[in-house]
Structure 1
Amino acid sequence: MNTHLTALQRAMADADWDTVRHLLNTLTRLYRAATACMRYASDFPKPAYDGLLRPSMAPPWVSPGFSGKFNSDHERMLRLLKTVRGPLKKAARTGTAPADVQDAARRLWQEQSRNRAHHKLICEKFVPGGTSLLQDYFAGSS
């Protein structure tokens, strides 16, 4: 996604709307795939999550207090998304971006929102009360 977002920045700077539309559609499909994975994970039985998935997010596999917030690729993706969102909205507002590009951007934002909602499904099902591994870590070290 980061590679496509970087290419999207360049295409927007060049006002290459065909490439912008294509990249937005690709990013939407990638987000949809990630969302499907989250939905799949939320359908795991709780014992499988507790015995297999949750331990994979703890030592020795990752550092204590693991959080997706510390994933550098994910953080980069969020920063890149912010850098394209403003210019895309401005291009839509000023009429610079064609309607099909505006529609493609809207679909990407909708899929990003859907992705967050599916992440919440996992949290609600498997981490009642919402205590994250990071929160557990800080609570245990104080």
Structure 2
Amino acid sequence: MGCLGNLIWFICGGALSGLSWCLAGCLWCITVVGIPVGIQCFKFASLSFFPFGKEVVYSGGTGSFLVNMIWLLVSGLPLALEHLVIGIALCVTVVGIPFGLQQLKLAKLALMPFGAEIIFRGSVF
């Protein structure tokens, strides 16, 4: 399902989601202080473009929590709402359920992205 799923995903909503993360990354990179946040946005844009075969593992501490609170107020809510609306729309049909679940995974990520790590399933690290 990985390659075919990613191809269908990219056509049916992944491109829009990935471009939203790229836009957030570009806006954060305008300031010197926001560059680390922007770089994290670009990492998650790659996940948003092609999510199948990858999973998100959450960890982190106080620093991640503080940055997540700033992120939530500035960029997190619009991205999470976008993923939530698209995910619910995709879950209406039986065929769209796997794609809707990926959008809901990205909505959770959009709320608290710092302290999260992308893990490739099936690869050796």
TM-score, shorter chain, exceeding 0.5: no
Compare the two structures and name the one with the higher strand fraction: 2
Compare the two structures and name the one with the higher helix fraction: 1
TM-score (norm 2): 0.33
The answer to which structure, 1 or 2, has the higher relative contact order (CA under 8 A, 6+ apart) is 1
Bigger Rg, which one: 1
TM-score (norm 1): 0.30
